Structure 1
Amino acid sequence: MVYTMVNKIWIFLFIIGITYAIFTGRAATINEAILSSPKASIEMILNLTGLFILWNGLLQVAKDCGLISAFARLIHPVTRFLFPELPKQHEVHGLIASNMAANMLGLGSVATPLGIKAMKEMKKINGDKDHATRSMITLLLINTSSLTLIPTTIVSMRKINGSINPSNVIPMIILATSLSTFFAIVVDRLFAKLSKK
């Protein structure tokens, strides 16, 4: 249902764009963009693949040598506050810590599978399989708001596209993602209290 609606929106935007281009005499520009997009996409994928392989490998090494477990213990007071329903020593805390670490490194595509694994573990704990628990909603909000301290993907993409100073966006990204995560947690706590009432 949701995918059908999104597909309709994209088709509508595509038709509007093509129609506007034809009536404003920019059809040649669109044609050029369509023909050059595959090459640009492949170049971007190849450039970013090395980055993702590197960070995936580093996260796996960190997991194997116990750094992720140590990070999970380090942020355990935070995760206990954010996820009070979860058992104290459950492995889901390690998955949540990995998800948060990947987001902090700006690796959303690495964080997403870890978040999905954490959700699956929380679903096993959940007695009601048909409804999301408070912890599942909290993880979704935190993952979506995505506190980022080192935006590696964005910096890499800016570098690939010829930015003179690709890292000058880091302070604003830290500020923006800190605020988004803070307000996500505030809204989550507020709705959790309202739902109890």
Structure 2
Amino acid sequence: MSLRSPLTVVMLATLLLTFGGCSILPESEPATFYRLPASTPSATPEATSSALPIRLGIATPEAGHLLSSNRIVVYPERNVVNVYEGSRWHEDAPAMLQARLITGLQQRQLFNSVGSDRLPHDLLLLSELRHFQSEYDTTPPSVKIQLDVQLVGTQDRQPIVANSFSTRTQASSAEIPDVVDAFGQASDVLNEQLATWLEDQARSL
């Protein structure tokens, strides 16, 4: 009886898999991508004539390694940090929150214009996203968002004033779509808090 070399066996196996349309690699399940639900501001926007003659720029929030991705972060228990399997944000969380803040402030019409820091602006809002996760400290889980902000001048970027905002909203169930809805509700509350603070600060300048 003759023995084939290991190399020959590997080549034969590869050919069989190739022509048979098979793969020895495990197939990964496709991810479901989520965006934040449409904003539902609680306050009625003020008239445009009362808008402050200030162009406000909103920079993309800084964030740690995990929060800088499009993974949906979850704290399942105590000190454990994880992500939802098979679920993603449609873009990285800081960019998604930046767009949410810009839209919310535009709806309130507090400033002459609100846009990203790539557009001309008189004041710039810098921030750091400290928390943007669901937590199973309650049943159903709750969503926590914390954003540390700093308002700076355009010319020298010297800090004018700083603050920290934190919100928590409980989801209606542990299902991913309901958790995503809770992220949207918490983002709206954060936007309301930030808008009120920004208006007070801008009017005192």
TM-score with structure 1 length normalisation? 0.29
TM-score with structure 2 length normalisation? 0.29
Q: Which has the higher strand share?
A: 2
Q: Which has the higher helix share?
A: 1
Q: Higher relative contact order by CA 8 Å / sep ≥ 6: 1 or 2?
A: 2
